[in-house]
Structure 1
Amino acid sequence: TMEREELNKWINQKSKLNWLNQKYIRHLPLPDLYRLARPFLEKDQEVARLIHEDEELLVKALGSIREYMTTLDDASPYIIEIFRKNVEPESDEARQVLEAEGASEVVNAFKAELAGGTAEHPDDFAALMKAAGKAAGAKGRGLFMPIRVATTGKMHGLELPILFSLLGKDTILKRIDTVMAGVTSS
C-alpha cells in the first residue's frame, strides 16, 4: 500500500542520514567535533563537571569514541563510562562471568601483567591482555570477558585497549580491586 511505501522511504532515509552523520563525525577534525558536541555533553551534569575538571582528557576520549557515535548525543554515555568512579558488575550475567571457572586466574594474570608493565597506548594494553591470556591459558571470550567485567562492570562497551589507554594503569588496577573484592565477598 501507499502508506507502507512511504514508511519504507522514511526508514531508508533515516538510515542513510545516520550513516552519513556517522561518516561526518568520524572525519571531522577533533577540535571541530568537540566544539559541536560540547552543547550535547553539557546537558549531562556529570559530563559538564568533567569538562571543567579535565577538558584535555575529555577531548582525547571524544576522539577515541567517535567510531561508536552516530549522533553527537551519543557521546555522553561513553564519556560517563570512561570516567565513572564506582564500578561493579551491572548484572547477574556479568557477575557470573567473574565467578566462572578460570576467570579469577585471567583477571589476576592481567593485573600482574599490568602492574609490571608500562602500557600507555592501545597496542600496549592489547599486548598485556595477550600475555595475560597466555599466562592463564585463556583465549577469546574466556580472556577478554573477565577482564572487561573486572574493569568496567559491563558485558559490552568500548574496545578495551582504547578504554585502558584513556583510563591509565592506576585507575584500571583500582577498578579491578574494587570489582573483584565485591565478587569474592558475595
Structure 2
Amino acid sequence: MQLGTLTWSPALDHPDLLAPSTLATLRTWAEQHPAVAGAVHVTEIDPGLADTAALTEAHDLPLAASANCVLVAGRRAGEERVAAAVVLATTRADVNTAVKRLLDVRKASFLAMDRAVEESQMQYGGITPVGLPTPWRVLVDSRVPAAGDVVIGSGVRHSKLALPGDLLAQLPAAEVVEDLALPRPG
C-alpha cells in the first residue's frame, strides 16, 4: 500500500502500534472476514504529527485521504447517547443537525478530551472507530466509503491505520449516513 511518504504494513503484524481495543476488534473482525487482515495497514508516526493537518503536510498525504473520528454525546429522558462520527478531513461533522437528529437528543456536543480518552481507552489524537465501546454507535459519513483508502487513528498517537473507506463502512456497528458532514469553511 502506498499513501504519501509513509511505509505501511499489515496492522495485525504490528500489535505494538495499536491500542488494545483496536487490536482486539481487528482480530475478531479478521476472523469473521479474512480479507480484513490484508486490507488494514498501519504505519508508525511521530506522535507530534498525530493531528491530521500536521500529518498530511509532513507526509505528503492528500487531505481527502484522511478521516477524522469525533466522539459526541447527548441526553434524552435522562439517558446519555454516545456516538462516534467518522468524516473525511475535508469536511466537518454536522453535530448540531445530523448527529443530534440521529441520536434523537435536544443537544449534542463533543465529549470532553479527558472523558473521550478515559471512556474510549484510546489516546487523544488517535481515537478511531475501530475498537470503541460496544454500546456506542459508529456513524460514517457516506463520503468515506467512496474515498478509496483512508487514514484514521489507531487508538494511539504514534501510529495511523489505513484501509479502504468501503471496508471502514462495514465495521461492526457502523452506520453509513448521508450528509453526516458539512464542507469545511474555505
TM norm structure 2: 0.30
Q: Which has the higher contact order (CA 8 A, sep 6+)?
A: 2
Name the one with the larger helix percent. 1
* TM-score, with structure 1 as normaliser: 0.30
